[in-house]
Structure 1
Amino acid sequence: MSDAGIWHGGDLDVARRLFPDAPDPWIDLSTGINPIAYPVPPLPARLFERLPTPADHGDLEAAAAEAYGAPDAAMVVAAPGTQVLIGLLPALRARSRVAILGPTYAEHARAWRGAGHDVMEVASPDRAGEADVLVVVNPNNPDGRLLSRALLLDQAERLRARGGWLVVDEAFADFAAGETLVPVLPDNAVVLRSFGKTYGLAGVRLGFAVAAGDAAGTLRRVLGPWSVSGPAMEVGRRALRDRPWRLAAREARGRDARRLDALLEPRSEQPLAGTVLYRLMSGGRAPDLFAHLGRHGIWVRRFPFDPRLLRFGLPGCDEAWRRLEAAFASFV
C-alpha cells in the first residue's frame, strides 16, 4: 500500500508485518510481472560512465516502434517507467472532465485528480458522457477486460469532436490476444506501453508513450534530455528487438497461467479473469484464503474495493509452484 492510500503489489514489508511468523523466503505473487526475466547481458562500463547520446535515445525508440508496431519512431517517447508518463499527461491539458473506465489501476485517477481535473469512474465507455478525456486500461488491471480496436477508434472519434483525448494504457498488451491501437493510432490518442512487466525487469524503470501529432513532441520537451539511463537504454533496445524471446515467453507464460487456473478454479465462485501474467478469482472466502496463504509465506493481491477478489501472479520456479500447490491443498 502506498503512502497515499493506493494499494500496490510487491510490498513484502507489508506482508512481513501482517504475517510475522510466515516462513522465508516469501513467494511474491502480488504483482503482474513476468517472473522469468529477460537475460540481461553483461553491460560495458561506458554505459555507467557517460551520458547517453541522442542517437542512443533514438535507437531505443526505434526498437520500441518495431516491437509495438508504430509506423514512425518519432511517435514513440521513452521515459523512466510508464508511471512517470501517467503523472505527466494530466499536466498537458487545461482542467478537463476525465472519465476512467474502471475499476482499474488507481494511479490514473490519482494523477488526473491531483492535477485539478474533474474525474469520474465509469463502467463502460458509453457512460463517459461529455468527458473531455477517456482513460482505458486495455487489457484491464485487474480483470483483463479487453476492448476492441474498433470500439476504441470510435471513442477517439467521438472525443475529437470536442478536442478530447483518448488515453489507452496497454501495460499488459504484449501477451494479450487483442489488437493494439498503436499501428492505427488517431492523432488525439496516447498509448502507454510498459517494458518491465513483459520482460520481468521492473527495476530497469522503462516505459513508452506512443502518440501522433504534437503530443509526442510535448512529452519529450517535458521529460527533457537524459530521461532514461544508458544501462536502461541498452537493456531495453536489446530486449525489444529479441522477438523470438518475446514469443517464447508469451507461450510459456500462457502454459503457466493455465496451470494456475487449475488451482484457482475450484476455489472461485465466478469465472476466472485476468491476463496471461495474472489471474483474478472471486469468492466469499477470499479473505480467509488470503490469510491462509500469508501464513504460508505467499503474498497475493487483494483489493479494497472488493474483498471477494484476489489476484495471483505467476510463480517463477518449481519450488514456488510446490509451495503454492501445498498451501491450496491444506486450505479447508
Structure 2
Amino acid sequence: MSLVTGIPLRVGGLSTRAHPRAIIVVIALLVATLGLAVLGMLTGDFPLNLTQLLNTLNGAGTGGQKYIVFDLRLPRVTIAVIVGAALGISGAIFQSLSRNPLGSPDIIGFSTGSATGAILVLIVFGGGITEIALGSIAGGIVAAIIVYGLAYRAGVQGYRLILIGIGVTAVLGSLNTYILTRAGLRQAQSAQVWLVGSLNGRGWSEVLPVAIALALLLPAALVLGRRLGLLEMGDETATMLGIRTEPTRLALVVISVALTAVATACAGPIAFVALAAPQLARRLAGSAGVAILPAAAMGGALLLAGDVLSQRVFGQNALPVGVATAALGGLYLAWLLASEWRSGRR
C-alpha cells in the first residue's frame, strides 16, 4: 500500500482514508513540538535543568520553579502551539477553497479585520483585555462577511476571493493607520504592540478560549475537509458527486474565520503562519489533497519555534514572535511567488 494513496478505513457509517506518510509527518512534528516545548521551559532568564523541570511538573519543585514553569513558561508554550495549530488549519482551508497557495487569512483580510476591531475597541472605546478580544473576533467576522459578500457572484471563485481580500486588506490597513494617528501616545503604543503579534504576558486565561475553539472546530474541519478535495475539482464536478457546494463552502469559511479570529484575539495578528504551514505540511506529507492535521501540527511547531528563537537568539532584546514570523514569512512569500511565476512561465 502506498504511503501517499493511503489505506481505506470504515467506522460505522463513516469512511475515510488513512495516509501513513501524513501520519508519520504529524508524529514527527509533534515530537519536534515537544522538544521545542521542553527547550522553551528549560531556558530563559532563570534556566532550569531537565530534572528540575520534571520534578516541578510532578509537583515537587520549589515555589520559584513552580511559578516559572506553571505561571510563565507552560502557558506561553501552550498558547504558541494551539494558536499556531488554529492558524495552520485556517490557512489550509482557505488555500483549498481558493485553490491558491496565497489564500490565507492574513493575505485576504481576515486578520487585518480582527486587528481593526481590536484597535477600535482599544483606542476609540478604551476597552480592556476582554473587550479587545471580543472586538478582534467581531472585526474578523465583519471582514469575512464583507469579503465573502463582495466575492459572491453565483458562487465564490478562488481568484475573486483573493483579489477582493487583498483590496479589503489594503483598505482596513489604511483605516488602522488612520486610527493610530488619531490616538494618544500611550494608546498608540499599546495598539502597536498588540498589532505586532506577541505571546508576551499571555497566561492561562488566554489559553482557554483558543483551546475550546480548537476542540470544537477541529473535528468539524476534519469532517468537512473530505469535501474540500471535491470542491477543488470545481463546483460542477462537486455537485455531480453530491456536494452542496455553497453551504459546504460557507460552513468551511465560518470554521476558518472563527479559528483566525480567536487566535488573533489571543496573540494579535501573527503573520505568515497560516500561509506557510499548510504548504510545508502538504509537501512533507506528499499529499495532493487537503492535509488538515499536518497543517495544524506544522502551524503549532512553526509558531513555537519562532517564539523560542525570538526569545533565545536575541537575549534580553527578545523580539515579539510576530516580528520573527513576519521576517521569515516574507522570505517564504518571496520564494513562493517566484516559484509560482516560474511554473506559470513553464
Q: TM-score, length-normalised on structure 2?
A: 0.23
Q: TM-score, length-normalised on structure 1?
A: 0.24
- If each structure's helix is expressed as a fraction of its own residues, which one has the higher value? 2
